[in-house]
């Protein structure tokens, strides 16, 4: 992975160096607020190998008897898995593994109705992921899917098709799993949801889907090796966090994550949660947005080019696409595309990216270019770890606790009052 800051005016960056290194030290030495949620830093080299092998064993069982695994979860229990699954599955067909479908990540009755209808003709298993078991969205979904599994397979067989990822010792879901005899995996106490894809939260469903979790973990290990170096010059995660904060203090308070490969769409969705929940506190924080180009150049491109000058972009580039196609010459050339004959489509896409960067720089939009080698388990694992270190350093530089999310409780309070929940 390589990051290029050439298209950012770095005048004044030296004044952020000490602050970023202090924030990095706070993160790595676990001396700041939220330090009890920093288990993700060393988890790539400190996995529970007994549970890791159980994950692989359970995955083979699910692949053998199920066309579909329904993954029930919301927020960090959903987005990390979805990001990697979507990137690795292929656009129109899955070449190996069991299909993942998702539930409990919203409250649409129509979605859940259609999901239950879809499952009538499928062999399926369920992986419900919740620390407590009482989070509204996944709890509702699990109630319906548990009932369907028991009706379709009988209570005894359903028990063998329901897998629970929850607290190690306590909570409603843990109690239910113990009572019913479901196989359980652990939501770690020391890793917050948006960082949890490196745990059973993400590893179990991804393994079921055919993702090589050994290589995925190796990517996190590579990230840990590169981005825990205490050096402003050698650690791009520290430098990136410093540049983000410099741009923020200079009025660039919106960061746009840009990709030119649709496979990365849900990497952007995971990234938005990571940065929004980590930094958006105490009236502070960069607002994270994402665009999928070239598609969004025909919708949001105008705003980015000529709108309010309070944004900067981080562009994700894939160096080596997995597949490609070559444009052929056409004898009639009615579309005027013969000048591209012999060119691969990835070449055209790359020139669109380069041209857009140049245009946006002219429009006073700083651009950071982040290049990954390919869309593979290792590359994506390293990318996720990089962003996790960045958000920890950046959050501490802002003066907030990057590892809590107190603001999400207010909507729940208001919703429960309107629904008439006892105690509200």
65-92 pLDDT, tens digit per residue, is: 999 999 999 999 999 999 999 999 989 8
Catalytic-role residue among 155, 284, 328, 412? 412
Which residues, including other chains, have CB under 8 Å from residue 135's CB and lie 6 or more apart? Answer: 74
The C-alpha atoms of residue 291 and residue 91 are separated, in whole angstroms, by 18
The C-alpha atoms of residue 174 and residue 130 are separated, in whole angstroms, by 9
Residues 328-363 have pLDDT tens digits of: 999 999 999 999 999 999 999 999 999 999 999 999
Q: Does residue 40 sit in helix, strand or coil?
A: coil
pLDDT of residue 409: 82
pLDDT < 70 regions, the chain: none
247 and 380 share a domain?
yes
The mean of the pLDDT values for the chain is 96
E strands along 260-405, which residues?
Answer: 287-292, 311-318, 367-372
pLDDT of residue 297: 96
The C-alpha atoms of residue 257 and residue 311 are separated, in whole angstroms, by 11
248 and 389 share a domain?
yes
191 and 260 share a domain?
no
Closest Cα partner for 278 from 267, 288, 264, 268? 288
CATH number, domain with residue 315: 3.40.50.10490
19 and 48 share a domain?
no
Number of domains the chain is built from: 2
Q: Using a pLDDT cut of 70, give the percent of the chain over it.
A: 100
Angle at 93 between CA 87 and CA 98, to 5 degrees: 80
The C-alpha atoms of residue 421 and residue 424 are separated, in whole angstroms, by 6
| Structural domain containing residue 130 | 43-211
Residue 252 falls in the annotated catalytic set: no
pLDDT of residue 100: 97
Which residues, including other chains, have CB under 8 Å from residue 316's CB and lie 6 or more apart? Answer: 257, 258, 259, 260, 261, 264, 267, 370, 371, 372
Residue 233 falls in the annotated catalytic set: no
Residues 372-415 have pLDDT tens digits of: 999 999 999 999 999 999 999 999 999 999 999 988 888 889 99
Judge whether 424 lies within some domain: no
The C-alpha atoms of residue 275 and residue 300 are separated, in whole angstroms, by 21
Catalytic-role residue among 255, 277, 377, 378? 277
25 and 83 share a domain?
no
């Amino acid at each position: 992975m390589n990051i290029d800051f050439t298209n950012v005016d770095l005048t004044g960056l030296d004044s952020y160096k000490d602050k970023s290194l202090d924030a990095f030290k706070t993160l790595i030495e676990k001396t700041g607020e939220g330090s009890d949620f920093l288990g993700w830093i060393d988890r790539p080299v400190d996995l529970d190998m007994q549970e890791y092998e159980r994950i692989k064993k359970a995955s083979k069982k699910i692949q053998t008897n199920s066309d579909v695994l329904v993954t029930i979860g919301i927020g960090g229990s959903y987005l990390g898995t979805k990001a990697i699954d979507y990137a690795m599955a292929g656009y129109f067909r899955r070449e190996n593994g069991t299909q993942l479908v998702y539930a409990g990540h919203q409250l649409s009755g129509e979605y859940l109705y259609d999901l239950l209808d879809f499952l009538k003709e499928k062999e399926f298993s369920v992986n419900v992921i919740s620390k407590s078991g009482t989070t509204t969205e996944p709890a509702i979904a699990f109630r319906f899917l548990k009932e369907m599994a028991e009706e379709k397979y009988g209570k005894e067989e359903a028990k063998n098709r329901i897998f629970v990822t929850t607290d190690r010792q306590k909570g409603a879901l843990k109690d239910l799993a113990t009572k019913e005899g479901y196989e359980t995996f652990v939501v770690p106490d020391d890793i917050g949801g948006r960082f949890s894809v490196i745990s059973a939260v993400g590893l179990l469903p991804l393994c079921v889907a055919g993702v090589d979790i050994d290589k995925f973990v190796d990517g996190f290990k590579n990230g840990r090796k590169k981005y825990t170096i205490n050096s402003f010059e050698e650690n791009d995660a520290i430098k990136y966090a410093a540049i983000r904060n410099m741009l923020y203090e200079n009025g660039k308070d919106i960061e746009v994550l840009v990709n030119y490969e649709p496979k990365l769409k849900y990497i952007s969705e995971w990234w938005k949660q990571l940065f929004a929940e980590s930094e958006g506190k105490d009236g502070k924080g960069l607002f994270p947005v994402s665009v999928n180009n070239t598609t969004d150049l025909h919708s949001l491109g105008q705003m980015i080019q000529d709108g309010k000058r309070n944004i900067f972009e981080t562009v994700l580039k894939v160096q080596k696409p997995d597949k490609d196609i070559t444009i052929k010459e056409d004898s009639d050339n009615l579309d005027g595309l013969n000048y591209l004959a012999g060119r691969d489509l990835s070449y055209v896409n790359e020139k669109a990216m380069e041209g857009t960067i140049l245009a946006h720089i002219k429009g006073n939009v700083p651009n950071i270019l982040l290049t990954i080698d390919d869309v593979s388990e290792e590359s994506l694992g390293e990318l996720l770890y990089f962003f996790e270190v960045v958000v920890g350093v950046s959050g501490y530089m802002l003066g907030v606790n990057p590892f809590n999310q107190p603001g999400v409780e207010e909507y729940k309070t208001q919703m429960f009052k309107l629904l008439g929940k006892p105690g509200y």
